[in-house]
Amino acid sequence: SMTVGLYARTKTWPLENISVSLRHSRIHAKDCAECETKDGMLDRIDVEIALSGALTPEQRAKLMEIAAKCPVHRTLKSEINIRLRTAPSGSLSESAGTKV
């Protein structure tokens, strides 16, 4: 919503409010026609954006286009590689971490 709001303010468009709702689910890759991956399970995030204000249909369409280009959207849409490693011995300070 920050990216969309900033864009609308820069253009001095009459965007009054923006609300973003997200829903996360897991789906079978074979059930996703627009996905490249066809095996296993995929995470799906459904995004619903509500724009209020006297915006033209063209302005609304452009703001939705801008929403798809926001840094968070681009990060989540890209492939993510998570690497897990053990920290070197002695790297945890006494005040940090969870004592067990």
Terminal alpha carbon distance of the chain: 40
Q: What is the CATH code for 2-77? A: 3.30.300.20
41-61: string of b/e by CB count within 10 Å (b at 16+)? ebeeeeeeeebeeebeeebee
Residue-level pLDDT at 73: 85
State the pTM of this model: 0.69
Domain ranges of the chain: 2-77
What is the per-residue pLDDT for 94? 61
User: 13, 55 in Cβ contact below 8 A?
Assistant: yes
pLDDT of residue 100: 62
Enclosing H/E stretch for 21: strand 17-28
Compute the radius of gyration of the chain from its Cα atoms.
20
Q: What is the pLDDT along the chain (100 residues), one digit of tens a residue?
A: 899 999 999 999 999 999 999 999 999 988 888 888 888 888 888 999 999 999 999 999 999 999 999 888 888 877 777 788 998 887 766 666 666 6
Are residues 20 and 47 in contact, defined by beta-carbon separation less than 8 angstroms?
yes
Joined together, the tokens standing for residue 75 give 């990060």
State the Cα–Cα distance between residues 87 and 96, nearest whole angstrom. Answer: 13
Whole-number pLDDT of residue 63: 97
